[in-house]
Amino acid sequence: MRTRIKICGLTRAADVEAAVAAGVDAIGLVFYQGSPRAVSAAQARSLAKGLPAWMCLVGLFVNASRDEMLRLADQVGLSHLQLHGNETPEDCQGLGRPVIKALRLPAGPAGLDAPALIKLAQPYADCSAVLLDADSAGYGGSGQAFDWSCLSGAQSTLGLNWVLSGGLTTENVKSAVAQFSPPAVDVSSGVEQMVDGVTQKGLKDAHRIEAFVKAVRQADQDKEMSKR
């Protein structure tokens, strides 16, 4: 099965064009004002014009009101809602669009084991998917990874309804796909511009996007070859 790819935190038309050209499946726009990647409704509508038919347009929210999410979803034409705050399972219901609920997992080696991860995800079983990300003060986009060892033994229970995120880069995504076969991957800081070793948050790098997508596709190809 082909791994789906989402690029999150886009703020410029050129970056949307680069993501489309690279062949990603979805782009994400951040509507959390505490993020350096946040966009306004007007910016989001402008960016959405650069998407081809059938590409997913995901809106990222953090503890937003139901009215705000529904209003922006209608104004911008969001296909999915991605909730990164302290939303309860009930908060994820009745939003009129598929909901991806982010689960913020401890960064570093002192993480969860597989049973704890499954227990954390179970209340959100009615969501379209859970997104596994490292916990951070900025609710995502930190470039940190959680301990992937908790994925071993959890994939069969999570099925197709999970997304791997947090600290993914061109250098490690191929290994992640090969080891854990995530149905989808989500990257933000891992494809952003670097200036003097500093990530330029919200400014994507077309070459890094292309390289990231190629790494995922190569991992998919390698998995298929190994089955023959």
pLDDT tens, position by position, 70-104: 999 999 999 999 999 999 999 999 999 999 999 98
* Domain count along the chain: 1
* pLDDT at site 156: 85
Q: What is the mean pLDDT of residues 25-43?
A: 96
Quick one: which of 191, 207, 183 has its CA closest to 25?
A: 183
Alpha carbons within 13 angstroms on the beta-carbon side of residue 194 total 10
Q: 204-218, pLDDT tens digit by residue? A: 999 999 999 999 999
Nearest-angstrom CA–CA distance, 27 and 223: 25
| CATH code, 42 | 3.20.20.70
pLDDT band for position 226 (cuts 50, 70, 90): confident
Q: How confident is the model at residue 135 (pLDDT cuts 50, 70, 90)?
A: confident
Cα gap 44→46, rounded to integer Å: 5
The set of long-range contacts for 107-112, using a CB threshold of 8 Å and a minimum separation of 24, is: 107/134, 107/135, 107/136, 107/142, 107/144, 107/145, 107/146, 107/166, 108/144, 108/146, 108/147, 109/147, 110/147, 111/146, 111/147, 111/149, 111/150, 112/146, 112/147, 112/150
d(CA 37, CA 39): 7
Residue 66 has pLDDT above 80, yes or no: yes
Confidence at 141, pLDDT banded by 50, 70, 90: low
Is the pTM higher than 0.85? The answer reads yes
Amino acid symbol at 225: M
Q: Which domain holds residue 24?
A: 4-226
Instruction: Just list the catalytic residues.
Output: 8, 133
